[in-house]
C-alpha cells in the first residue's frame, strides 16, 4: 500500500501512544479532541484527495524511487515540475483549510534536503547515510506517512552557540552514541503539524562548527517514541475551537508544538547525520532552499481565501465587489507575486549530483522577504474591505446570539443585505484569517526575513555589478571596496 | 466636585443598574467582572492622574466654561493647545494601558462637536439646543463623568438609507416625540468603552436627508436607562482575560459593545438634535474632524508600547536593540508621523463662531489614511523583531508551564538570555498588541480610510492646481475637465 | 547567411535611404550621427555576441523553423526555455548598454504574437496570413534583421475610437486595398529603436470593433520605405550626446521615434492583418503577453547597472558597500522580483495550437505592475546612496572642469577618496540612469499599469474564491454579487 | 528701506562684480543670461509679492528686531507661527516657480540658527558674536538682501575629518586670523541660489572636534568678494534653458553652484564663529532643525504643481480627472503629509533662551525621511497619469515641430483632445518636474535620510519605552540591553 484515504490515516494516528498535552492535560485521542481534530481533518482531506479524479494530480505523483503512484509528500522531487507540484499542493491545501498543514510539509522537505547531503557525506566520508535515507523514503511511501519536520531548537541566548548555553538541553543533541543507534535529549520548539503526524523527521537547527558536533543530528522518530513529550501551544482565540457555534470556522486549524526529548533512542537505520558538522550548513541551506521554493504556494493559498472572505463580507453588507476592485486586485497582485516567484525559483533551479532538485535560492530568498511582508498587507486590505466588524472584538459571541432574552434582537442588528448569521459567519472567517487562529507563520516560517537578506547578500555578484558599471562609466582605474582607516 | 479619583469613579459605576451581558450572562458588577474590569481599571487610572503632580497637566485642564480645574475629557476645546492636549491625553492613556480607552474619548468628542452645531441650529432655527448642551457640559464636568460616544448604527444593507431598510430598528431612531422629551428605539454597534462609562452621548451615524429625519437624533442617556440592553462583543483571545496566569497582560483591556434601545425615553434637556437633518452632515463632519485631529495620539501611544515590547523580547533573546535599530527607527517614524500630523492639524485648525476649536480636516483626513496603514506596518515589524514566538500559536499555555509532569522542563525551553517566565511575559505582551486583545480600531475607528479619501478629494483645490500648472507651462487656452461624450 | 556581426549590421543600416530627422535636420548616416550612433553601437554589440564563445548561448539559439543557429531575435519562441531566453537576452543587453535596445525587441515580439493569430485567422477565415508570416520569419532570420515594432498610435482624444477622431491620420490605417497590397497612412509614436532597425513590424494599437476595421492592420515595412518620415524625439539631457567629454556615459543610448506614414504601399506578402477586427484583441493580447513575460529582464538588467553605479560612487566617496548593504539588498530584491516573475510566467506558460509559446498572462500582468513601481524605488535608492551629486544639477560641466582659469581647482573639489574625474564619471553614470537619457519606459512600455490591472481583474476567478470561502465559513445560502437598487 | 520690489532687487544684482561661470564662460549679467535669469526671475517675483495685497502676508512679516514690515527671509523667527510662515512662504514660492528658490532660504535659515548659538557662545566664552549677528540681521533687513547659505564642503574622503584630507582646501577653512578679520580658503559645493543672491552666509559643513578648529567658521560675505570664483553646475536638460520654444517651461529654474574661495578676507563684524568647535555641532543641529521644520513647504509646493500638471495632461488627452482620482488623492496625501509634519514640528517647537524659535527636531527628522521618499512616489504617479509621453525621450523637439517639411504633420500627431502645442506644453511641464531641470534636492537637501535616522535614534527614549512595556507585561526583573559576550 502506498496510498491511504483519510479514514485509514486517522486510524493510523489512533494507534499511537498518547503523548500530546494541551492546557496541562493529556489528549487521549487526537482525532477527536477539539484542540487537534481540526488540523487532522484537513490532513485527512489531503489523503482523500489521492482518490479524487480532479485533484489527484495535485495530491499524488509518480514516485521517482518506485515508479508507483504515491502521496506527493512521500516522494523525492527531481525536477522543476516537482517543485511547482510542491507549491501547487500547498496552495490547494490552504484553499481547502484556510491555514497551514504542517504534517505534509516540513518532514517531507527535510528528507528531500537530506537526499543530496547524505549522498555527499557517503561519497566523501564513506558513511552509509544515503542508503538509510533512501530506505526511509521507501518506508514513508509504502506506509503513506504524515511527517512533521523538526528544525528549530529552544536556542536560549541567541548570541551563543548550543555548546555554550547554560542548559545543554535547550537544543536537541546526542547524549550517547551506541552500537545500534544514538540517544538524544533536549527540545525542539514551534513545530507545525505534530499532532497530525505519524513520524517526526529531525535536522539540526542551524549550521554548526566543530564545538557543536553533538548538536548536528538528523534522524527520524515515531511521534510516540519513548521519552518524547509533546505540548501543543496556544494559538490566537484557541478556546473557541472548544466551543459550539460559529465563532470560529470549522474547516481546519493550525497546530504548533513544543517537543521535549528525554533520552530517546534512535536506531541506526533512522539516523542520517550524527556529528558531521561540516555538512550541517549545507543541510539547513538545502532545506531552506526547497522550503522557500514552495512557500509561495502557502501564502497564495491563504490569500485566495482572504479574497473570497472579503468578497463575502462585502456582499453580506450589500456591496458589490466593484466598490473594492482596486483593493481586491492588489490582494491578487500580492498573491501572484509570491506564487509566481515560487514558479520562477523552480524554473531556474538545478538538479543536484544525487538527482534531487534544488530551486533557485536567490529567488527563494527574495520571495521570503515578500512572504514576510505582502501577506500582512493582504490581511490589512481584507480588514479594510470587511469594515470594523473584523478588526478586533466587534462581534458578540455565539452564546449572546442564542440568549433567550436579547438574542433574537441582537441577531437582527448583525444583519446586512443578508441575515445576521450569514453575515457573522462571513466576518468570523475573515477574523480567523487576519486576527485569529488561521494566521500562519509567514514571518518566521522557513527562517526569518533577515536570514533571507543575508542569503541574498551572499548570492549576489556585487563586484561584477560594480565592474560592469565602471566599464559603462568609462572608468579605467581600480576602484576596490575601501578598507577602514585607523 | 469636578474631580474624582479612581475609587470614586468605580463607586459611581457600581451604582448603575446591571444591564451589560457577555457570553449570554448578565455582568453584575462591571468593576470586578473579568470581562470588563481591566478596561475600567485603566479609566480609573486616568481619574487618579488628576491628582498626580507630574501628569495632572495631561489629564486635567482649566474648564473654559467654569474656569475650574476639570478632567480634560469633561471640557470644551477652544484652541490648538486643547486639541494637542487631546492627542497628548490619548498617548498617555495608551502608554499606560497599551490599548484603547473609549470611555474618555468619543462621548467627549461628541459634546465638543455638538457645541458649534447646536449654536448654529439655535441661531438659524430658534431652537434651544445650545443652552441644553452647555448645561450638559457643566453637568458632566461637575460630576466628572466618563462618557461613551455612540455613532455607528447597525446599518443593514449599506446601499440603502435608514428609512429604506427592511428593519427600521437596525438604525437608532425617534419613535415618538412627546412634550417632555423623545422616545428612541433601535441599536448602536461597535461602541467602545460603554462598560466603563457613566453616560452615553449619541449622534446620528451619518449625514442624512429629508426622508430620514427620525434618524437625526443627538442626545445623552445614562448608561443604565430603562429600555437599554448592552452586549459586550468578544475580542481576540478574550477567554484569557478570564484566566489566571500570564497568557495575557493584566494592564488593561479594550471593550466594545452592541447597544439595544427599546423605547428609551430621553427628557428634553438631554436632547440636542431631533430631526434637523440639514445639520446632521455638519455634526458628523465636525465629530470626525475633532476625532481625527487627535487620533494620532492613540496610534502613537500604542506604537510606543510596541517598540518597548519588541526591545524587551529582543533583550530576553540576548540581542541588543542595535541589531534591530533600523526597524525600531521605522517604528518610531510611523509613530511620530501620525502624532506629528495630529499636531499639524491642530496648528492649522480654526476657532468656530461659537468658540469651539476645529482641527484642520484636510490634514486630519490625511492622517486617517496613515492610521489605517502605518500601525499595521508597526505591528509587522514588532513581530519581525520578536521572532516566531509572537506570530500565532507559538507559546504553550500558562497551565502547561504549571504542569507537575513537564512544566519545569517546558519552562526551561522558553528561556532565552533570561528565565522562561520573563521571556514568555515579554512575548505575550507583544502578542496581545499585535494579534491579541490589545488591537485597537485603527482601520475603521473614526471612519474608514475610503471616507477619509472622499474628504481629501472634497477639500483639495484641484482646479486651482491645474490653473497654476497651466500658467507655468505657458498654456493660455481653456483646459476644463472633459465632459463625457455620448 | 543567418548570422551577421556588428560591422555587417552597420553596413546594412548605411544602405538605407536617410529618412530620420532630429532637431529639424536630416540624419545622413545613423551609424555616425551623435543622436543615433550610441543606440546602434549597442545593437551592433548584440550582433557581435553571436560569435562570442561565452555569450552566444544568450544571443543566439537554434531556429525552430530552419534548425539553424540564428540571432535569438529572429526566432520563434516555442517553449518555456525560449521565453526565459528572451528575458536573459534583455538582461544581458541592458547589462551591456545600461538601457533599452528597441531594435531587437518589439518587432521580434510582434512576429511571435502574429504566429498564432495568423494561424487562427487562416483556419477560421481561410486567409493566407500564416504562410506569409512564416516566410517573413525566414526572411528575417536569413537576413539577420534588426526589427523595430510599431504599436502605439497618436491616439488623439483618448475617449474616442480611431474612426471618431477629428483627424483620421492620428492613427495608422489602411487608405486603400489594392490587388497587390495595401496603402497605409497615419502615424505611430513613441517607438523604440527605429534608427537601429532594418525593418519595422506593425500591429494595431489596440483591440478594435467593427467600426474601426481600417485601423486593424498588421504588416512589415522596410525602415526607409517610400512615404515614411521618422522624427527622433528628445530624451532627457540629450544635447550631452552631442558633446565631448564625460557628462554622459558613452556606452549606449536609447532611441524613441515618431513615424509619419503618407500613402505607404505594402505588398501583400508583407501584410498579416488587414481589417479582421475580431482578431485585433487577441493580437494585442498575445503581444502584451509575450512582452510582459520577458520585460523583467530589461528592468533587472538596468537594475544591475544601477547597483554597480551606486557601489562605485560610494567607493569613490571612500565608503564601503557595507554602509549601504541593506539598501543594496533592497535593490537586488526589486531586481530579482521582476526577473523571477518573468521566469515564473515562463514556467506556467502554454504552447499555442500553432506551436508558439505564450507565457502566463496573469503573472505577466502582475509583473507589469511591479515594473511600473519597483524600478522607481531602485532609482531612488541609487540616488540615496550616491549623495546629492546625482539628484539634479549638482555637477559642473565637463567644459568647466577644463577651464584654464579654474578647472584644475574645480576638479580638486570633486575628488573623494579618488581623483575628481573618476568620481564625476561614476556619478554621471548614476545620473544618466536615474535622471538622464538612460531611463527606459518602465511605466508605459508594454502598456500601462492600469491596463495590467484590468488584465488581472479579468484573469482572476473571483467567484470561485468567494465560493470556497463560503464553504470554509459554513455559509450555505446563496451570496451573489449584489445588483444595484434603483 | 527694508522692502525692495523685483526690479530694485535685479538692479542690486547687476551691481555685483561678475564672478559666476557656466560651461567654461563668465556670465556677464546674471539677470539676463539664460543659465541664471529664470531663477532670478522667480526671486524677483518674491520681492514683488511684498506689495501684493493678497500675498504680502506670506512674503513679508513684522520684524521682531525693528518692528518694521520686512521681507520674511530677512527676519528672525521667534514663534510657531513664524515657523509656519517659513513653510507657507516656501509652498507659495514653489507654487509660483515650480522649483527651489535658494536665495531666500538657506542663508536666512543660517542667520536664524546662528542667533541662539552666538548668544550661547557670548554668554559662555565672552565673545561678541551675537551682537555682530544682530547687526548683520539688521543690515540684511535694511538692504532687503537675498542670501545664499553655504554649508556643504567638498568633503573628499567621507571617512576622514577635514584636517586629515589629502587636500586641506577640499573643505572651507580659516587660513589666517588677523586683527581686523579672518582669511578663508577652500570650497563649498552644491549651493542653491547663489547666482540670485546678494550675499552668502557660511556655516561649517558638520560638527567638528578639536583637531578641526580651522574648519569651524561661520561668517557672511558679499557674493562678489575678492577671491571668490563661482561655477554654476549643470542640471538635467539644461541646454534647453538656452533655447527658444517650449521644450522647457519658462517660469523658473533652479540653480546650484560650486564656490571656490582663495584667500578671501572677512572683516570681524561679519564673522560669527572662528574656531569654537564645541559649538559647531549645535550650529549645524539648529540649522538642520529650522530647515527641516519648513522643508515640508518646498516639497508640497512642488507637489501641488505636479498634481496640476498631471490633471492638465489628462485633460489634454481627453480624460477626466475622475479616471485618476485615486492617484491624485495619493499625491495629495503625500503632499499634505510633509506639509502637515512641518506644521506639527512648529506646533511642538520651543523658544530658545535667546528668543529664537526651534521647531521640534524629532518630527523634523521624521519629516526628512518622508521628504526623501514621498516626492519620488508623487513623481512616479505624475508620470503614470501623464502616459508614456513624459517618461523619457518621447516628445520631439520644438525645432522638429517647426520643420517646414514635416512640422505641421508632426504637430497633428501630438494632438489629444486639444491641439498639439497645448498637449506638448502640458507634458513638457510634467517632464521638467519629474525628469527635468525642475527636480529639487529632496533626497539630500537639508541633510540625508540616514542622518535624519541617526537624529531619530538619538531623540527617542528607547529605554523608557522598554520600561513601560515591562510594567504592562508584568516583568519585574531587570532587563538591560545585553552586552556583547567575548
pLDDT digits (tens, 9 = 90+) for B110-123: 999 999 999 999 99
Q: Which residue of A has its CA nearest to C310?
A: A466
Average pLDDT over residues D97-115: 95
Nearest chain D CA: its distance from C319 CA (Å) = 7
Measured between CB atoms, which of A304, A337, A482 is closest to C366?
Answer: A337
Cell readout for A447 is 527562517
Chains that touch D (3 or more CB pairs under 8 A): A, B, C
Query: In chain B, positions 259-288, which contact chain A (CB-CB < 8 Å)?
Result: 260
Pick D472's closest partner by Cβ from B305, B457, B465: B305
Q: Which residue of D has its CA nearest to B368?
A: D333
Chain A CB contacts of D159 below 8 Å: 482, 484-485
Q: State residue B147 phi and psi, 5-degree precision.
A: -125, 120
Looking at the complex, does the CB of residue D484 fall below 8 Å from at least one CB of chain A?
A: yes
Chain C stretch 80-99, residues whose beta carbon is closer than 8 A to a beta carbon of chain A: 80, 84, 95, 97-98
Distance, CA of B160 to CA of B278 (rounded, Å): 19
Q: What is the pLDDT of residue C144?
A: 98
| Closest CB from B158, B232, B437 relative to A319 | B158
Instruction: Kindly state whether A484 is in contact with chain D, defined as any CB-CB distance less than 8 angstroms.
Output: yes
Is the pLDDT at D251 greater than 90? The verdict is no
Taking the Cβ of residue B250 and every Cβ of chain A, the question of whether any pair is shorter than 8 Å is answered with no
Position C2 scores a pLDDT of 85
Residues from chain D contacting residue C377 (CB–CB below 8 Å): 376
pLDDT band at B322 (very low <50, low <70, confident <90, very high): very high
**Which helix (H) or strand (E) is A307 found in, with range?**
helix A280-316
Cβ contacts from A onto B, under 8 A: 259
Selected residue with higher pLDDT from A211 and B250: A211
- Of the residues B222, B248, B280, the one at which a domain ends: B280
Per-residue pLDDT for A270 more than 90? yes
Cell 448578565 found at: B26
**Phi and psi, residue D173, nearest 5°:** -155, 165
* Least CB–CB distance from D428: residue in B84, B468, B473: B473
- Considering only CB atoms, which chain A residues are within 8 Å of C299? none
Q: What's the pLDDT score for residue B440?
A: 87
Q: By mean pLDDT, which of A277-286, B25-34, C250-259 is the weakest? A: C250-259
Closest-CA distance of chain B to residue A17, Å: 17
B466 and D336 within 8 Å at the Cβ level: the answer is no
- Examine residue B385 and state whether it is found in any structural domain, yes or no: yes
Say what the pLDDT of residue D265 is: 98
Out of A250, A342, A474, whose CB is closest to C425? A474
Contacts of B252 in chain D (CB under 8 A): 472
What number is the average pLDDT over the span C190-213? 97
Are the Cβ atoms of C160 and B326 closer than 8 angstroms? no
Is D321 within the bounds of a domain?
Answer: yes
Interface test with D, best of C396, C406, C415 (most D CBs within 10 A): C396
A482 — contact with chain D (CB < 8 Å)? yes
Is pLDDT above 60 for D486? no
In this structure, the answer to whether residues B276 and B315 fall within a common structural domain is: no
Q: How confident is the model at residue C1 (pLDDT cuts 50, 70, 90)?
A: low
- Whole-angstrom Cα distance, residue C485 to residue B156? 14
Chain D residues with CB under 8 Å of A484 CB are 159
Q: Which of B159, B482, B485 sits opposite C485 (nearest CB)?
A: B159
Cβ <8 Å between A363 and C418: no
Q: Is the pLDDT of residue D206 over 60?
A: yes
Q: Mean per-residue pLDDT for B132-150? A: 97
pTM, to two decimals: 0.96
Which residues 368-397 on chain A approach chain C with CB closer than 8 angstroms?
369-370
Q: What is the structure's pLDDT at D347?
A: 97
Q: From the CA of A460, how many Å to the nearest CA of chain D?
A: 24
Contact D159/A326, CB-based, under 8 Å?
no
A-D contacts (CB, under 8 Å)? 9
Residues of A within 8 A of B400 (CB-CB) are: 21-24, 231
* Chain D residues inside the 8 Å CB shell of A485: 159-160
Number of domains in chain C: 1
Give yes or no for C230 touching D (CB within 8 A). Answer: no
> Is the residue at D422 inside a domain?
yes
- Judging contacts by C-beta atoms under 8 Å, the chain D residues touching residue C410 are 231, 258, 260
Evaluate whether residue C395 is within a structural domain: yes
Co-location of B97 and B235 in the same domain: yes
Q: Taking CB atoms and an 8 Å limit, are D485 and A326 in contact across chains?
A: no
**Do residues B433 and B340 both lie within one domain?**
yes
Q: At what angle do helices A129-143 and A106-125 cross, to 10 degrees?
A: 150
Is C253 part of a structural domain of the chain?
A: no
Alpha-carbon distance of D437 to C249, in angstroms, equals 19
Residue pLDDT, tens place only, C440-486: 888 888 889 999 999 999 999 999 999 999 999 999 999 999 987 65
* Residues 6 or more apart whose Cβ sits within 8 Å of residue B205: B151, B152, B153, B155, B171, B172, B188, B215, B284
| Mean pLDDT taken over chain B | 95
Helices (H) and strands (E) in chain A, counts: 15, 14
The mean predicted confidence, pLDDT, of chain A is 95
Distance between CA atoms of residues B471 and D251, nearest Å: 8
Q: For Cα atoms D427, D430, D433, give the angle at the middle one, nearest 5 degrees.
A: 150
pLDDT above 90: residue A445:
no
- Mean pLDDT of the region C70-94: 97
Where does the pLDDT of residue C255 fall: very low under 50, low under 70, confident under 90, or very high at 90 and above? confident
Read off the CATH number of the domain in which A426 is found: 1.20.140.10
Contact (Cβ atoms closer than 8 angstroms) between residue B4 and residue B144 = yes
Residue C31 pLDDT exceeds 90 = yes
Distance of residue B106 Cα from the nearest chain C Cα, in angstroms: 33
Q: Examine the pLDDT at B486 and tell me if it is beyond 60.
A: no
pLDDT-derived band at B253 (thresholds 50, 70, 90) equals confident
Q: Which residue in chain C has the smallest CA separation from D401?
A: C24
Residues of B in contact with D429 (CB under 8 A): 469, 472-473
pLDDT of A375 > 60? The answer is yes
pLDDT above 90: residue D250? no
Residue B217 phi, psi (nearest 5): -130, 130
Inside any domain, residue C197: no
pLDDT at D253: 76
Q: What is the pLDDT of residue C393?
A: 79
Q: Which residues of D fall within a CB distance of 8 Å from C173? A: none
In a domain? residue D479: no
Spatial CA neighbour of A288 closest among A156, A152, A399, A161: A152
**Among A178-182, B351-355, B393-397, C159-163, where is mean pLDDT lowest?**
B393-397
Assigned domain for D325 exists: yes
Q: Please give the residue of chain A at the shortest CA–CA distance from D326.
A: A326
Q: C192 to chain D: nearest residue by CA?
A: D394
pLDDT of B185 reads: 98
Over residues A265-281, the mean pLDDT reads 98
Give me the pLDDT at residue D216, please: 98
**Quick one: closest CA in B to A444, which residue?**
B388
What's the length of chain C? 486
Q: Three-class SS of residue B110?
A: helix
| Helix boundaries (H) for A126-260 | 129-143
What CATH code is carried by the domain that includes residue B79? 2.40.110.10
Query: Would you say residue A108 has pLDDT above 60?
Result: yes
Q: How far is B284 from chain D (nearest CA, A)?
A: 22
Nearest by CB to residue B332, choosing from D252, D419, D460, is D460
What is the pLDDT of chain C when averaged over all its residues? 95
Residue span of the structural domain in which D402 resides: 282-459
Across the interface, do D329 and B453 touch by the CB < 8 Å criterion? Answer: yes
**Which chains share 3+ C-beta pairs under 8 angstroms with A?**
B, C, D
pLDDT tens, residue by residue, B335-359: 999 999 999 999 999 999 999 999 9
Report yes or no: D24 at the C interface, CB cutoff 8 Å: yes
Could you tell me which residue, B215 or B388, shows the higher pLDDT? B215
Q: Give the tens place of pLDDT for each residue, A37-77.
A: 999 999 999 999 999 999 999 999 999 999 999 999 999 99
All cell numbers assigned to D485? 559576550
Contacts of A479 in chain C (CB under 8 A): 312, 315-316, 418, 422, 426
B362, B422, B482 ranked by CB distance to D417: nearest: B482
Q: Report, as an integer, the average pLDDT of D273-297.
A: 97
Query: Does C326 lie at the interface with B, CB-CB under 8 angstroms?
Result: yes
The answer to whether the beta carbons of residues C172 and C215 sit under 8 Å apart is yes
Interchain CB distance below 8 Å, A414 and B380: no
Nearest by CB to residue C307, choosing from A465, A471, A472, is A465
Per DSSP, the three-state class of D358 is: strand
**C348 with A343: Cβ contact below 8 A:** yes
- Report the pLDDT value the prediction gives residue D255, as an integer from 0 to 100: 87
Q: What is the mean pLDDT of chain D?
A: 95
Any alpha helices (H) in D167-279, and if so which ranges?
A: none
User: Could you give phi then psi for residue B262, rounded to 5 degrees?
Assistant: -130, 100
Query: Which of D161, D202, D99 is CA-nearest to residue D440?
Result: D99
pLDDT, one tens digit per residue, over C339-372 is 999 999 999 999 999 999 999 999 999 999 999 9
Amino acid at each position: 500500500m502506498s496510498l491511504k484515504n483519510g479514514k485509514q490515516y486517522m486510524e493510523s494516528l489512533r494507534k499511537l501512544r498518547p503523548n500530546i498535552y494541551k492546557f496541562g492535560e493529556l489528549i487521549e485521542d487526537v482525532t477527536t479532541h477539539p484542540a487537534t481534530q481540526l488540523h487532522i481533518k484537513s490532513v485527512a482531506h489531503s489523503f482523500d484527495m489521492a482518490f479524487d479524479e480532479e485533484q489527484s494530480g495535485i495530491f499524488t505523483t509518480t514516485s521517482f524511487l518506485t515508479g508507483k503512484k504515491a502521496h506527493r509528500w512521500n516522494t523525492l522531487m527531481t525536477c522543476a515540475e516537482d517543485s511547482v507540484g510542491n507549491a501547487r499542493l500547498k496552495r490547494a491545501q490552504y484553499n481547502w483549510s484556510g491555514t497551514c498543514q504542517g504534517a505534509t510539509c516540513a518532514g517531507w522537505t527535510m528528507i528531500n534536503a537530506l537526499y543530496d547531503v547524505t549522498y555527499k557525506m557517503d561519497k566523501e566520508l564513506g558513511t552509509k547515510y544515503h542508503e538509510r535515507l533512501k530506505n526511509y523514503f521507501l518506508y514513508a511511501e509504502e506506509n503513506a506517512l504524515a511527517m512533521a519536520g523538526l528544525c528549530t531548537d529552544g536556542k536560549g541566548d541567541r548570541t551563543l552557540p548550543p555548546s555554550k548555553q547554560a542548559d545543554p538541553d535547550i537544543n536537541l543533541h546526542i547524549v550517547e552514541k551506541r552500537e545500534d543507534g544514538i540517544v538524544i535529549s533536549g527540545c525542539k520548539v514551534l513545530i507545525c503539524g505534530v499532532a497530525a503526524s505519524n513520524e517526526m523527521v529531525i535536522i539540526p537547527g542551524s549550521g554548526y562548527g566543530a564545538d557543536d558536533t553533538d548538536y548536528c543530528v538528523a534522524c527520524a522518530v515515531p511521534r510516540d517514541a519513548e521519552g518524547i513529550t509533546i505540548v501543543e501551544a496556544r494559538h490566537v482565540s484557541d478556546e473557541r475551537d472548544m466551543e459550539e457555534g460559529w465563532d470560529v470556522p470549522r474547516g481546519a486549524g493550525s497546530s504548533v508544538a513544543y517537543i521535549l526529548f528525554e533520552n530517546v533512542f534512535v536506531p541506526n537505520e533512522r539516523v542520517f547525520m550524527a556529528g558531521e558538522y561540516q555538512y550541517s550548513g549545507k543541510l539547513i541551506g538545502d532545506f531552506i532552499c526547497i522550503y522557500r521554493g514552495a512557500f509561495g504556494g502557502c501564502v497564495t493559498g491563504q490569500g485566495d481565501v482572504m479574497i473570497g472572505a472579503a468578497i463575502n463580507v462585502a456582499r453580506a453588507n450589500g456591496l458589490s465587489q466593484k466598490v473594492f476592485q482596486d483593493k481586491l486586485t492588489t490582494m491578487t497582485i500580492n498573491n501572484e507575486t509570491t506564487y509566481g516567484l515560487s514558479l520562477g525559483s523552480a524554473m531556474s533551479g538545478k538538479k543536484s549530483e544525487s538527482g534531487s532538485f534544488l530551486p533557485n535560492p536567490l529567488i527563494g530568498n527574495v520571495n521570503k522577504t515578500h512572504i514576510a511582508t505582502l501577506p500582512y498587507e493582504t490581511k490589512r486590505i481584507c480588514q479594510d474591505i470587511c469594515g470594523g466588524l473584523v478588526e478586533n472584538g466587534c462581534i458578540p459571541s455565539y452564546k449572546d446570539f442564542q440568549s433567550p432574552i436579547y438574542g433574537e434582537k441582537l441577531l437582527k442588528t448583525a444583519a446586512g443585505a443578508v441575515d445576521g448569521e450569514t453575515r457573522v459567519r462571513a466576518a468570523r472567517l475573515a477574523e480567523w484569517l487576519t486576527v485569529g487562529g488561521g494566521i500562519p507563520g509567514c514571518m518566521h516560517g522557513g527562517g526569518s526575513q533577515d536570514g533571507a537578506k543575508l542569503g541574498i547578500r551572499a548570492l549576489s555578484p556585487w563586484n561584477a555589478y560594480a565592474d560592469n558599471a565602471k566599464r559603462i562609466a568609462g572608468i579605467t582605474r581600480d576602484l576596490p571596496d575601501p578598507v577602514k582607516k585607523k
